[in-house]
Amino acid sequence: MSDIEIKNSALVYEHFSYFRVKSDELRPGSVGRKRGTLNQTYVEEWNRIPSKYLTDSVRFDVQVAVEWKDQKASEVEANGKFTYYSASVAGGAKAGYAEAKSLNLKLIKFRIEPARMQAILNNDADLIRRHLRDEGNDGRVVLETWYAIDREGADLFESTRSGKATFAATIGGGDLNVTASSTTGTRRSVTVNISASTFAYEPFSVRSWTKDDKVDGLTGDEHGILSTPGNGNPPSTGEGSRRYRGSVSGMERITLEPVDGVDVTTVVDNSSDMLMPDEGLVRRWGLVGTAGEIPVIPTELAEGGKTADFLRAEHGFSALVEVRAGGGRRRVLFDAGITPDGLIGNLDRLAISPDTFEAVVLSHGHFDHVMGLDGLARRLGPRNLPLLLHPEFWTRRRIVTPGGGAWELPVPSRSGIEGAGFAIIEDRQPSFLLDGVLLVTGEVDRTTDFETGMPIHQAWREGDWVPDPLIHDDQAVVLHVRDKGLVVLTGCGHSGIVNIVRHAKMLTGIDQVYAVLGGFHLTGGIFEKIIPQTVAALAAENPGVLVPAHCTGWKAQHALAAGLPGAFRPNSVGSRFEL
């Protein structure tokens, strides 16, 4: 059963509090002022973002089971009424506490990403933005809302993640509705009017304003403050994972525990160079470096019947993160490369045992970061190894080519990955591994004006291919090396490498950037035009180590080497960066 508690003034889920006072008067996009006392805080609505701006922005986030029999009527009906939705009954229906107990209802949550709402306020809702500015510290906009729904309806919304149901947001009679419709078996659908019957909500305030009175970041309000046990540490959830829930401002709320050091070993990358020598903190693999011995394999075509077995390069990425803390070492795998046997083959050549991995983090759902799980699973067998990823990881996607054609990317299979023995942990929000020393960023705020995504990228939604330039499931890994600063590791960097670095700083409240490694996705004509801005922004961060890899591209590599000569280190499969 999920960690959830219902009070007459708040909904507490996984130790995080949502508002309930006046919830029936609010919806996503409600704008108003914060009112009330500490225990009875609410938003007094004075306007709403027009529904037409929200239809492409509302997303299903999570479903939660509730033990209604444990709740008092006064708590469930905090606003004097209770509304639930059903996949078998058209429209909403009023119900009291007795009905809730017998119907085995769930709660589901919808959300609008802070970055998306910021764009709406800055580009579409000019008058509302100005009024919000006039409210000062009391101005609020609602981004997350909860609703009661029967189990069948909740399961339909959950099925939108895997493509077994479609998700649509529409306007009807001025109200904003969201509908989940099955695409397999018996055709079913359920519609929730999210302009009414809200059970709980989260308001956000503006973190800061630009000189021309534009919104510069949104902050969750009294939400994201963890209820901590006696030791002062946030509670653990999932398989060795700890979740941070809330906005990315108020950064003092996240404490990323420092480590003594971290070794990042490149297991899969586009480049292999066996002649590169060691260089300071970098240990190279090959004839000259000291990162490891070169294995020998048999062949009938060489004198003595043997030859050297060198590491393979492929268009993909995978890195081993080995944390040094408290006199011990702990390992997490980040990404898995593109071919079924590429990852496990290079692990064998590097003499790295996958039995030592405590978890796998996947940066996003593109197949050149995923498909190496195949060989890893065959080697490990079913053992419920935690696999951390974003809920949109499973999205069906394609690349539109200049000639008007399109190439559909292989899509990760949830049933296949679960059947292989991985324990899937999905989260849009930041989360922790290894007792709070390894941070998974979750969805990254897009704050630069030049990192605007991949315009040729599309996703299959609601029965059609639609633009998907932002690739919301892109996430990174962050560590804090004591007295040195942040280590940021990316897969492709679809969020924009500068956005990612700034997001890591905001999440942790740590300004010093020690090392940035991974794919920066600056290859090809679409992205080469932002290379100068990217180099300048990274140079301003002044990292001690910069290791562009994978999809960064040779033009960007040269520009980064010239712009940050003291920090730049070329990558190659087998390189170990001892940070």
- Mean pLDDT, to the nearest integer, of 502-531? 95
Task: Look over the chain and give the mean of its residue pLDDT values, rounded to a whole number.
Answer: 86
Residue 7 has a pLDDT of 77
558 Rama sector, left if φ>0, alpha if ψ -120 to 50, beta otherwise: alpha
Residue found by looking up tokens 């490369």 in the block: 337
Residue closest to 65 by CA, chosen among 14, 12, 104: 104
Q: How far apart, in whole angstroms, are the C-alpha atoms of residue 571 and residue 515?
A: 13
Residue 347's pLDDT is: 97
431 vs 130: CA distance, rounded Å = 34
Averaged pLDDT, 22-31: 89
CA-based radius of gyration for the chain: 25
List pLDDT tens digits, range 352-400: 999 999 999 999 999 999 999 999 999 999 888 999 999 999 999 999 9
Question: Considering the chain, what percentage of its residues have pLDDT values greater than 70?
Answer: 89
DSSP code per residue over 522-556: --SHHHHTTHHHHHHHHHHH--SEEEEEGGG-HHH
Task: For 93-143, write each residue's pLDDT tens digit.
Answer: 556 666 666 777 889 999 999 888 999 999 988 888 888 888 877 789 999
- The model's confidence at residue 92, banded by pLDDT at 50, 70 and 90, is low
Q: Which pLDDT band holds residue 277 (cuts at 50, 70, 90)?
A: very high
Model confidence at 501: pLDDT above 60: yes
Q: Note the pTM of the prediction, 2 decimals.
A: 0.63
Domains of the chain plus CATH, in order, are 4-235 (no CATH), 261-578 (3.60.15.10)
Give the pLDDT confidence score for residue 251 in this predicted structure.
Answer: 36
